[in-house]
Amino acid sequence: MAHHTDPSAIRDALTNYDSFPDSAHVRLPVVQALVGCSSATVWRMVKRGTLPAPRKLSERVTAWNVGDLRKALAA
């Protein structure tokens, strides 16, 4: 099943990303926008260790820790 995210929500998350605490979490569409690639590429990057693995926050919610993402993207 495809999930559709409101483009304005992604835009807001990207605009406010620098003000998020390291303990915050972002979902796949925001990660895709941060690295500028497809979801398949994000998952390949996780598999090879370029990006941190996401955390399972609930049965149907997987998200990346902002602090972990910042460290990976700064490297």
Q: What is the pLDDT of residues 45-68, one digit of tens each?
A: 999 999 999 999 999 999 999 999
Ramachandran bin of 49, using left for φ above 0, alpha for ψ from -120 to 50, beta for the remaining angles: left
Query: What is the per-residue pLDDT across 3-42, written as a single tens digit (0 to 9) for each?
Result: 667 788 888 888 889 999 999 999 999 999 999 999 999 9
Could you tell me how far CA 70 lies from the centroid of its own chain? 10
Provide the pLDDT for residue 14.
86
pLDDT at 1 over 50: no
Q: What angle do CA 29, 35, 39 make, to 5 degrees?
A: 45
> What pLDDT is attached to residue 10?
86
Domain boundaries, the chain: 23-74
On the question of pLDDT at 70 being above 80, the answer is: yes
